[in-house]
Amino acid sequence: MSQQAFEASIQAGESEHVEFKRNVNSDMAREMVAFANSSGGRIFIGIDDDGAIPGVAVTNELKARVQSIARDCDPPVTVELETVGNVLIVNVPEGTNKPYRCSNGFYIRSGASCVKLTTQEIREFMKSEGKLHFDKLITDSAEFPAVLDESAVNRFFRLGGISGVIGTQELLTNLGVLDKGASGLVLNNAGVLFFAKDAARTHLHSIVDCVLFKGIQGSISWIERLFSLTCSGISMRRSFL
Domain ranges (residues) in the chain: 3-128, 134-240
User: Nearest Cα to 19, choosing from 109, 119, 95, 79?
Assistant: 109
Note the pLDDT of residue 120.
82
Distance CA 172, CA 174 (A): 5
User: Nearest Cα to 50, choosing from 116, 109, 112?
Assistant: 112
133-167 per-position pLDDT tens digit: 677 777 778 889 888 998 888 888 888 888 777 78
Note the pLDDT of residue 175.
84
Note the pLDDT of residue 160.
81
Q: What ranges in 136-215 are assigned the alpha helix state H?
A: 150-159, 168-175, 189-195, 199-202
Distance CA 77, CA 188 (A): 32
Secondary-structure breakdown of the chain: helix, strand, coil percentages, each rounded to the nearest 5: 35, 25, 40
The string over 109-132, giving b where at least 16 C-beta atoms fall within 10 Å of a residue's C-beta and e elsewhere, is beeeebeebeeeebeebbeeeeee
DSSP 196: B
If residue 231 lies in a helix (H) or strand (E), which one and from where to where? Answer: none
**Which pTM does this prediction carry?**
0.58
Distance CA 99, CA 106 (A): 7
Note the pLDDT of residue 135.
77
Q: What ranges in the chain are assigned the alpha helix state H?
A: 3-12, 28-37, 60-72, 119-128, 150-159, 168-175, 189-195, 199-202, 219-228
Note the pLDDT of residue 226.
47
The string over 165-198, giving b where at least 16 C-beta atoms fall within 10 Å of a residue's C-beta and e elsewhere, is eeebeebbbebebbbebeeebbbbbbbbbbbbee
241 within 8 A of 219, measured Cβ to Cβ: no
Helix axes 150-159, 168-175, angle to 10 degrees: 70
According to CATH, the topology of domain 3-128 is: 3.30.950
Query: Residue 142: CB partners within 8 Å, gap ≥ 6?
Result: 181, 186, 187, 188, 191, 192, 196, 202
- Rounded CA Rg of the chain: 26
Q: How far is CA 222 from the centre of its chain?
A: 31
Ranges of residues in the chain whose predicted pLDDT is under 50: 219-223, 225-241
Is it true that the peptide bond before 99 is cis, omega within 30 degrees of 0? yes
